[in-house]
Amino acid sequence: MKNVIFKVGASLLVCLGMAFSACEDDAGTKKVHDPNKPIVLTDFYPKEGGIATKMIISGENFGTDPKQLQVYFNETPAAVINSTGDKVYVIVPRKPGEDCTVSVQVGDNKATFDEHFEYHIQTTLTTMCGVPGAQEIVTGTLAETQFWHGRYLALDKDHNLFVCLRALEGGDYYNDNKVLLINEEEDKSQILIPNTGVPANQPCMSEDGTTCYIPLDNSLDYWELSSKNQWAPRKMSLRKDPLSEDFSIDYKHSFAICKYDGYMYTRAKNGALLKFDPETGLTQLATPDPLMPTSDSYILFSPFEGQEHILYLAYTNANCIYTYNLQTGEHRLYAGMTNVAGYADGPVEYALFDQPHQMILSPDNELYIADTNNHVIRKVTREGRVETVIGQAGVSGYVDGDPETALLNQPYGVAVDEDGIIYVGDDGNQTIRRLAIE
């Protein structure tokens, strides 16, 4: 995918500025929208571009009050900067869709162009913090921040990024694992848990976005971090609910909150799917039969209405992604081929993964996956295709840039904010990368 940025030519901007200046200098020439007459659309320029492209729309009966004007690219509103009455100056919004109808509305009057605007998605990978090869942990500003292996991520409602750090190779498995908090807007980092004990795995945020729950590797323990308690860590443990059947648990690598029933879920490596109350730790067996025994897994519930009962499971050792339906008990292959490692984009049934780890669902309901051993971030589109978003398959490295040049080194974690910005735990590079798809 080519990363193209379209800009309005200098001559066009000069003409636009002159037109708006003339309108502002001579109040007597202002053109008021007439609600009894239709809006007439004649042309728009440019015909294609990406986010923040400057556009001029030509026509009649727009009026000169930009606050009364609405311009839409498909259903996404654009920023209206100014209007002369027969020309409107707008800024193309973020991700309205690749094929856009452009419409103008004033009050109840609305008109739509027959010609469509072609929106070009721009994908850029940058480094937010971290230093490849760092041998120590340093907190402070993002430019100063260094850490060991930053693997799994979670974002809260205040845009705090929680990063689970693993020990360096040859380090202490039991004492060199930490939890780091990063706030990009405040330009700072800090250690929240200086020693998690055994490694901390994929964290999960509560539904209200104020509490982070972090599973520990080979134990029943987990950590709770809440903004209500100024992030003071509290260690909790899973314990059998008296109403549950007996169960055993070996390794738990991820937590996922389920909006369908309000429970937190985890899956053990032995295949046991468990649900528990994160406040008490009371735990029940959620399925009568184990799911994919012997494989590690990283899980995620859909947050979207009508799909909250669907659990996604990235089976790392089996190199595939399944879904589990809480309503029907159906456990089925969703993407990839079971126990076949490799790399292939395309329809989900023909795609191949190599050690997939953390997943997230973007605001536009696409599934993003850290495909670790392929050194790429992949996605499953709503149309059922697997695509590579960033990175070069089978090539590890450290390069910021667009999809044609950017390189990752064993990404493990992904998180997404409300604007669709994706954060990547680039484990092999000891960095947090920022992936903007606009």
Domain ranges of the chain: 10-119, 125-437
What token pair was written down for 280? 């008490």
State the pLDDT confidence band at 20, using cuts at 50, 70 and 90: low
Predicted confidence (pLDDT) per residue in 49-98, tens digit: 999 999 999 999 999 999 999 999 999 999 999 999 999 999 999 999 99
Q: What is the mean pLDDT of residues 99-124?
A: 97
For residues 377, 383, 384, 390, the Cα torsion angle rounded to the nearest 10 degrees is: -10
Q: What is the pLDDT of residue 93?
A: 95
CATH of domain 125-437: 2.120.10.30
Q: What percent of the chain has pLDDT over 70?
A: 93
Q: What is the pLDDT of residue 133?
A: 96
Predicted confidence (pLDDT) per residue in 204-232, tens digit: 999 999 999 999 998 899 999 999 999 99
What token pair was written down for 79? 């920023």
Q: What is the pLDDT of residue 169?
A: 82
| Same fold flag, 10-119 and 125-437 | no
CATH of domain 10-119: 2.60.40.10
59, 113, 142 from 100: Cα distances, Å:
19, 10, 38
Question: Which pairing describes strands 385-390 and 346-347: parallel, antiparallel, or unpaired?
Answer: antiparallel
2, 53, 157, 284 from 5: Cα distances, Å:
10, 8, 31, 52
Predicted confidence (pLDDT) per residue in 261-318, tens digit: 999 999 999 999 999 998 899 999 999 999 999 999 999 999 999 999 999 999 999 9
pLDDT of residue 368 exceeding 50, the answer is yes
Give the number of other CB atoms < 10 A from CB of residue 416: 19
254, 266 contact by CB (below 8 A): yes
State the pLDDT confidence band at 431, using cuts at 50, 70 and 90: very high
Q: Give dist(CA 325, CA 346) in Å, integer.
A: 24
